[in-house]
């Protein structure tokens, strides 16, 4: 608690580290409540507290996808390996406890819950004594400010904080903020997307190697793009580019295509899907309306995928089995 208090003394209440610390307070309170709850006489209360504690997943995901990458930029990759492993161990323990709860296997549930709580408290101590203080030393205000958008996508365990800002200048997207240290690769030949940078060659690679057929029809109902993979489900050729989409389908199905376009344009529907048997394969076909930030219709994406093998998947496969 001493380390936490020292950190809290000079952090803005919306600073990402302060948010982590406030979550730690919440987690510790939940662990105390879970320990005090009587499983036999008040099972529902116990289950409710456990579900709230399971929301620690958001705490883990923000660290793994937000905090750890920033630390790696400054040469500290240890948390990405060691602490992430500890996260997974706790996740596994949460699954074990949940299965026992759902089966009402109360025999050793208290013991399993105590062990889970012990592991979580060990993790919080490591955060407060080492991870957070060193992160505060390594990262700059600009890093913490830029972290908010990604944190928001993942979420928090309690009330979302306001965006942290160390100045009155407002938020600047990382791609436009010249104060932020350079990325470890050049962006001179790349385009900036919502998240990240890609060259046109890399974009083409992505579309080429995706195991799905993609066709983009613009707001004027003309085909403007399709990807050329190794094995397409439906044949396409360059002659389709610029063609009205209603002429790209056989007469027996064109009415459905036109209905989809009408509903998408009117804003009444956002997706449509079909599945068919083709050459002994199960094909999943989906249409998605494309809209800009103002909800204006910008076209439709058609995606087709061979899901034959996917449908046959059962259980889990967690190990690589190359031969």
Predicted confidence (pLDDT) at residue 275 exceeds the cutoff of 60: yes
- The predicted model gives 199-227 an average pLDDT of 93
Share of the chain above pLDDT 90, in %: 55
Copy the structure tokens of residue 67: 């905090």
> What pLDDT is stored for residue 162 in this prediction?
84
Predicted confidence (pLDDT) at residue 179 exceeds the cutoff of 50: no
Copy the structure tokens of residue 10: 């000079």
CB 147 within 8 A of CB 16: yes
DSSP 56-112: HHHHHHHIIIIIHHHHHHTT--HHHHHHHHHHHHHHHHHHHHHHHHHTT--TTHHHH
Give the count of alpha carbons within 13 A of 33, CB side only. 18
Q: What are the φ/ψ torsions at residue 168 (nearest 5 degrees)?
A: -100, 15
With vertex at residue 181, the alpha carbon angle to CA 176 and CA 187, rounded to the nearest 5 degrees, is: 60
The pTM of the full predicted model, rounded to 2 decimals, is 0.65
How far is C-alpha 175 from the chain's CA centre? 20
> What pLDDT is stored for residue 34 in this prediction?
93
H/E stretch holding 253: helix 251-266
Cα gap 10→8, rounded to integer Å: 6
64 band by pLDDT with thresholds 50, 70 and 90: very high
Predicted confidence (pLDDT) at residue 212 exceeds the cutoff of 80: yes
* Bridge partner residues of 299 (DSSP): 218, 290
> What pLDDT is stored for residue 15 in this prediction?
92
Q: pLDDT of 117-151, one tens digit each?
A: 999 999 999 999 999 999 999 999 889 988 888 89
Query: What domains appear along the chain, each with residue ranges and CATH number?
Result: 2-154 (1.20.120.520), 201-311 (3.30.450.20)
* Bridge partner residues of 216 (DSSP): 225, 301
Low-confidence winner among 175-179, 199-203, 245-249 (lowest mean pLDDT): 175-179
Greater confidence, 317 or 53? 53
Share of the chain above pLDDT 70, in %: 92
Greater confidence, 172 or 102? 102
168 band by pLDDT with thresholds 50, 70 and 90: very low
- The predicted model gives 219-228 an average pLDDT of 93
Greater confidence, 4 or 321? 321
How does the average pLDDT of the chain come out, rounded? 87
Query: 3-class secondary structure for 185-251?
Result: CCCCCCEECCCCEECHHHHHHHHHHCCCEEEEEECCCEEEEECCCCCCCCCCCHHHCCCEHHHCCCH
With vertex at residue 108, the alpha carbon angle to CA 87 and CA 33, rounded to the nearest 5 degrees, is: 65
Q: Is the dihedral of CA 29, 32, 36, 40 positive or negative?
A: positive
> What pLDDT is stored for residue 117 in this prediction?
96
């Amino acid at each position: 608690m001493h380390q936490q208090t020292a950190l809290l003394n000079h952090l803005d209440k919306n600073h990402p580290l302060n948010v982590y610390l406030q979550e730690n307070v919440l987690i510790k309170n939940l662990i105390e409540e879970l320990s005090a709850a009587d499983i036999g006489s008040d099972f529902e209360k116990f289950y409710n507290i456990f579900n709230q504690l399971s929301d620690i997943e958001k705490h883990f995901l923000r660290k793994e996808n937000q905090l750890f990458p920033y630390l790696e930029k400054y040469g500290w990759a240890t948390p990405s390996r060691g602490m992430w492993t500890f996260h997974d161990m706790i996740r596994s323990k949460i699954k074990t406890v949940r299965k026992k709860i759902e089966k009402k296997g109360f025999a050793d549930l208290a013991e399993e819950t105590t062990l889970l709580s012990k592991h979580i408290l060990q993790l919080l101590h490591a955060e407060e004594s080492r991870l957070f203080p060193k992160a505060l030393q390594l990262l700059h205000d600009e890093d913490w400010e830029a972290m908010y958008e990604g944190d928001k996508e993942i979420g928090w365990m309690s009330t979302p904080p306001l965006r942290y800002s160390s100045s009155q200048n407002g938020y600047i997207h990382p791609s436009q903020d010249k104060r932020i240290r350079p990325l470890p690769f050049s962006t001179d030949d790349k385009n900036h997307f919502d998240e990240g940078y890609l060259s046109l060659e890399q974009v083409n690679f992505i579309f080429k190697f995706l195991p799905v057929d993609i066709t983009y029809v613009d707001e004027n109902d003309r085909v403007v793009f399709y990807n050329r993979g190794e094995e397409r489900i439906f044949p396409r050729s360059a002659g389709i580019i610029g063609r009205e989409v209603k002429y790209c389908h056989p007469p027996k199905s064109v009415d459905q295509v036109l209905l989809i376009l009408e509903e998408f344009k009117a804003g009444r529907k956002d997706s449509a899907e079909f599945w068919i048997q083709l050459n002994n394969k199960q094909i999943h076909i989906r249409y998605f309306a494309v809209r800009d930030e103002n909800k204006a219709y910008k076209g439709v994406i058609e995606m087709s995928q061979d899901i034959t093998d996917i449908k046959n998947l059962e259980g889990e496969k967690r190990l690589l089995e190359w031969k």
